[in-house]
Amino acid sequence: MADKNTKGFKKILFPTDFTDASVAAASYALMLARQGKGRIYVLHVVDVSREAAGFYLPHLSFEKLDKELKASASEMLKNFCAKQFKGFKGVDQHILVGEPYKEILKVTKGSDIDLVVMGTFGRTRVDRLLFGSTTERVMRRAECPVLVIPPSK
């Protein structure tokens, strides 16, 4: 957490799924980073198991599929950051593959993150009931503060 002698949060993790909820939360991450003269670590987790489930692609190996998904996600992340954090120099972009909440938690443990800022991800109620909310899992298990921003109405 931010030291009492410093103002604001220096390392802010901002996981995004590119939904409207992420757009709403991005402005908070940016505001906090500017106030604390910090950095925003923007993270998108490619959930290959969910995205590939149910598809039979005989012409595309899983390695190639993984590479294609990461390349596409990387381009989406680049565009998202260019739009949401325009003009702010303290942004690092990262793409990981795995279960979103697990990857987010790994990052918080391994990199001295001061704060996680995230929107309530864009899953349906049925998905949340069956699989649990990424945001809720991160909130319950993170070792640093988590600021959750509801989607704008």
Answer yes or no: is 105 within a domain.
yes
Q: How many C-alpha atoms does 117 have within 13 Å on its Cβ side?
A: 22
Residues 71, 58, 65, CA angle at the centre, nearest 5°? 15
> Tell me, what CATH number does 67's domain have?
3.40.50.620
Number of compact structural domains in the chain: 1
List the structure tokens of 78.
């680049």
Answer yes or no: is 98 within a domain.
yes
Answer yes or no: is 57 within a domain.
yes
Q: Where are the extended beta strands (E) located within 35-90?
A: 39-46
- Per-residue pLDDT of 3-24, as tens digits, reads 444 567 999 999 999 988 899 8
Q: Do residues 13 and 108 lie in contact, with contact meaning Cβ atoms separated by under 8 Å?
A: yes
Domain that holds residue 102: 11-149
- Per-residue pLDDT of 30-42, as tens digits, reads 999 999 999 999 9
* Whole-number Å distance between alpha carbons of 144 and 33: 16
Quote helix, strand, coil % in the chain, to nearest 5: 45, 20, 35
